[in-house]
């Protein structure tokens, strides 16, 4: 059985050595036809089929492919033109039989990704896209990340986006939209808020939504075709060029506003396992197995074997393709702990060659028991071997709002002063798994689990709405004032909630309807003060290099943090020709603090934030209940 053969490391090493194909397979149009290259080293025979339409019941022609070394097959087919479709038919004999499948390396497809599409990609570039550069980011510590789902962002009528564009790539980038009260939504909102990068939940072609009837909902962590955009976000899923051009237009619109784009990628598993195009092409090679059965490190039924040479080659090529063809500025790796260190290191080094400002981060854990050994896995514990890659700081997350998986457990912002040491470490830029603050993605809300506002409601039922709003502001301040990289989820800045129709809140809304997941933009008007607070915090952070330290040495030299017995935290930052005081008070009492000598401009209070001084203080400061305050020393 071939699966068990690949589990034999000696056999696998020999297989990889004899079958490593360094060139990128796929289809390429020429003046008179198309060249097809397929990597299928177990195949006995292979053919390429050409179709006039995505749904043609019969192929236009079928051409036999020729084996040409290192496991590759090639064929030149004359008469092929842009807009035609193709598949491979691969006879893997007793290892998997004969199957027809889409090309793993296809760059375009028709509806629901069943057949690859021949396409001149240059004709999918919006005007000026070829010269569109990346957004400069000197250090990842300078970034402010904003996570958004394409459909969520504009599907609600309150977005002000035209009905035909709602939930689409075009709706996300629609200019000058507003809610019912005239406040900016979508792209206008992002400009106003001041974030540096938008983190898009998966926009590659995923399997869990029917592109021809996109009434279902899914976050998109269900990979089907890695190198093709998702068709349900396009104006016409049948038109393979539309989804490409419209995603590029979204990216161009964000870049035109100096906002970078981070792509959420899911190379840890595929939606289909044994029925996937990977397995139909090279049976059992692309997946880890044990005893002949697929292992489940992803928690989704399978896990890609990134440590195998051609699987690694595929993942690296895919990432580089998105970076070069779509001008993607950074990548977020889902369940990065399922990927091996060598693969992630190669991705990092190759990306930096293309774009020195590229940012890379991911989840330093798995979704189940992985067959990849801990010492080879890109987990939080391996951060010392992945110094240019950042990890989600789940320690600070749970410190701020309380245990993610125990809804009743309070966090520091809810008054749990036992968690003060965790918050203090956040201000210092430390975590038990990181080597420097640039490896810390600091957050208290993401698409997973309860929103911050819902978690506060569940863990602090005794709090008044007024105090819960104060706790939400304190949470935001901790994220923005901590050393590392701040990350927020779309709508967090105006108290996004995911209520269920029968009561309670949605903990895992990955396939819940729009009524739960959509951004209700009129809530921005209801919570405009919270929005302005986030906006001011971002402005304050971006104005001070002292809040964006890049190394542990800088943190050790520039940051002094102390805690009181009552759980308050006092931080004194000095360096880069400035001084900043940060005080956190999670208690329900006003707290008094002695200040160092000099005049101090109060820029962040319990209700306002920004770069303009709200007051000038000397000698002493008072921290209101459930608050964060920040002061900058006046220049002499």
- Tokens matching residue 251: 């990216």
- Tokens matching residue 324: 């070069």
Q: Which SS3 state, helix, strand or coil, does residue 605 take?
A: coil
How far is residue 210's CA from residue 212's CA, in Å, rounded to a whole number? 5
Is 334 considered catalytic here?
yes
Catalytic residue among 54, 222, 340, 363: 363
Catalytic residue among 334, 394, 425, 579: 334
- List residues bridging with 197 in a β-sheet: 145, 260
320 contacts: CB under 8 Å, gap ≥ 6: 350, 351, 354
Taking residue 81's Cβ as centre, other Cβ atoms within 10 Å add up to 13
- Tokens matching residue 84: 């035609």
Q: Which SS3 state, helix, strand or coil, does residue 256 take?
A: helix
- List residues bridging with 563 in a β-sheet: 569
What is the b/e burial string over 393-418, where b = at least 16 CB atoms within 10 angstroms of the residue's CB?
Answer: bbbbbbbbbbebeebebbbbbbbbbe
Is 52 considered catalytic here?
no
How far is residue 376's CA from residue 357's CA, in Å, rounded to a whole number? 26
Task: Say if residues 202 and 150 touch (Cβ distance below 8 Å).
Answer: no
The distance of Cα 501 from the centroid of its chain, to the nearest Å, equals 29
| Angle (nearest 5°) at CA 344 between 338 and 347 | 140
- List residues bridging with 90 in a β-sheet: 46, 99
567 contacts: CB under 8 Å, gap ≥ 6: 412, 417, 418, 420, 586, 587
The DSSP line for 11-71 is: HHHHHHHHH---S--EEEE-SSEEEEEEE-TT-SEEEEEEESSTT-SS-SEEEE-EEEETT
In the block, which residue shows the tokens 């220049």?
Answer: 635
What are the residue numbers of the active site?
Answer: 334, 363
């Amino acid at each position: 059985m071939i699966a068990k053969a690949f589990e034999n490391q000696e056999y696998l090493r020999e297989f990889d050595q004899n079958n490593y194909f360094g060139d990128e397979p796929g289809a390429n149009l020429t003046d008179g036809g198309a060249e097809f290259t397929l990597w299928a080293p177990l195949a006995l025979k292979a053919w390429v089929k050409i179709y006039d339409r995505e749904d043609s019941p019969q192929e236009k022609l079928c051409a036999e492919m020729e084996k040409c070394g290192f496991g590759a097959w090639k064929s030149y087919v004359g008469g092929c033109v842009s807009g035609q479709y193709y598949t491979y038919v691969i006879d893997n004999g007793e290892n998997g039989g004969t199957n027809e499948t889409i090309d793993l390396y296809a760059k375009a497809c028709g509806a629901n990704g069943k057949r690859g599409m021949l396409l001149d990609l240059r004709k999918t570039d919006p005007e000026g896209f070829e010269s569109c550069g990346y957004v400069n980011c000197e250090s990842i510590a300078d970034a402010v990340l904003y996570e958004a789902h394409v459909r969520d962002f504009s599907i609600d009528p309150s977005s002000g986006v035209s009905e035909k564009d709602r939930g689409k790539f075009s709706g996300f980038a629609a200019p000058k939209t507003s809610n019912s009260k005239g406040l900016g939504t979508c792209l206008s909102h992002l400009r106003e808020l001041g974030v540096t990068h938008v983190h898009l939940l998966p926009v590659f072609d995923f399997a869990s939504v029917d592109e021809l009837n996109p009434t279902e909902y899914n976050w998109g962590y269900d990979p089907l075709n890695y190198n093709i955009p998702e068709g349900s976000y396009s104006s016409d899923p049948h038109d393979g060029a539309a989804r490409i051009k419209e995603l590029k237009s979204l990216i161009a619109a964000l870049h035109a506003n100096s906002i970078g784009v981070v792509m959420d990628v899911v190379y840890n598993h595929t939606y289909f396992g044994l029925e996937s195009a990977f397995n139909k092409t090279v049976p059992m090679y692309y997946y880890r197995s044990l005893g002949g059965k697929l292992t489940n490190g992803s928690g989704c039924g399978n896990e890609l074997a990134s440590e195998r040479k051609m699987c690694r080659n595929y993942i690296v090529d895919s990432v580089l393709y998105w970076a070069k063809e779509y001008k993607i500025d950074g990548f977020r790796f889902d369940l990065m702990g399922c990927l091996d260190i060598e693969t992630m290191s190669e991705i990092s080094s190759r990306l930096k060659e293309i774009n020195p400002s590229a940012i890379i981060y991911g989840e330093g854990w798995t979704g189940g028991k992985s067959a990849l050994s801990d010492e080879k896995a890109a987990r939080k514990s391996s951060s010392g071997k992945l110094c240019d890659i950042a990890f989600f700081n789940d320690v600070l997350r749970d410190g701020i709002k309380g245990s993610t998986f125990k809804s009743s457990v309070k966090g520091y912002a809810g008054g749990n002063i036992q968690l003060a040491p965790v918050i203090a470490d956040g201000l210092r830029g430390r975590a038990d798994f990181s080597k420097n603050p640039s490896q810390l993605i600091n957050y208290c809300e993401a698409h997973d689990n309860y929103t911050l506002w819902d978690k506060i409601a569940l863990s602090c039922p005794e709090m008044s709405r007024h105090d819960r709003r104060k706790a939400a502001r304190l949470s935001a301040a901790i994220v923005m004032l901590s050393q590392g990289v701040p990350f927020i989820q779309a709508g967090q800045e105006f108290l996004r909630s995911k209520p269920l129709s029968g009561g309670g809140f949605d903990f895992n809304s990955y396939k819940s309807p729009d009524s739960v997941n959509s951004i209700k933009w009129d809530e921005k008007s209801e919570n405009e003060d919270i929005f302005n607070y986030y906006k001011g915090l971002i402005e304050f952070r971006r104005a001070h290099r002292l809040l964006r330290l890049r190394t542990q040495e800088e943190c050790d030299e520039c940051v002094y943090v102390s805690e009181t017995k009552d759980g308050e935290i006092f931080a004194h930052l000095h360096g880069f020709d400035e001084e900043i005081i940060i005080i956190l008070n999670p208690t329900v009492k006003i707290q008094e603090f002695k200040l160092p000598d000099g005049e101090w401009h109060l820029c962040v209070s319990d209700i306002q934030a920004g770069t303009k001084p709200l007051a000038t203080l000397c000698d002493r400061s008072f921290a209101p209940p459930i608050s964060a305050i920040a002061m900058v020393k006046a220049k002499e």
